[in-house]
Chain A
Amino acid sequence: MNPVCIAIISNENSPLLMQTSTAYKSSELDLMFLAHSSLDVIEEKLTVRSTGVDQRELYLGQLYPTEQYKIYGYVTNSKIKILVMTENTSQNIDQEVKTLFKQLHRSYAQLMYNPFYQPGDKIHFPSFVKYIEDILK
Chain B
Amino acid sequence: MAKAIQEREIGLDLFAFLHGEVYSFVTRTGTDPEQQSTKLRAMGIRAGQVLQERLNLEAPRTQDEVDIVRFVCRDVWTHLYLKQIDKLRTDNKGAYYLIDNEFCLIKQVSDSMQYLRDLPLFLEFTCGLIQGIFVQFGISAIVTPEVTHPPMCIFKVQIHNVK
| A binding-site residues for B, Cβ under 8 Å | 11, 55-58, 75-79, 102, 105-106, 108-109, 112-113, 119
Contact = CB atoms under 8 A, between A and B. Distances in A.
B53 A76 contact: yes
A78 B61 contact: no
17 contacts: A56-B63, A57-B60, A57-B61, A75-B61, A77-B52, A77-B61, A77-B136, A78-B53, A78-B136, A108-B53, A109-B56, A109-B57, A112-B50, A112-B53, A112-B54, A113-B50, A113-B54
Contact of A55 (B52, B54, B57, B61): B61
Contacts of B50: 109, 112-113
B54 to A, nearest CB: 5
A57 B62 CA distance: 10
B59 interface: yes
Interface of B: 49-50, 52-54, 56-57, 59-63, 136-138
Contacts, number: 45
Determine chain A's interface SS by DSSP, over half rule: loop
Given A11-B138, A119-B136, A78 B60 contact: no
Contacts of B54: 109, 112-113
Nearest to A113: B50
Given A55-B63, A108-B53, A109-B56, 19 more contacts: A11-B138, A56-B61, A57-B61, A58-B60, A58-B61, A76-B56, A77-B52, A77-B59, A77-B61, A78-B53, A78-B56, A78-B137, A79-B138, A102-B57, A109-B54, A112-B49, A112-B53, A113-B54, A119-B136
A77 B59 CA distance: 8
Shortest Cβ-Cβ A-B pairs, 6 listed? A56-B60, A109-B53, A77-B56, A78-B136, A112-B50, A112-B53
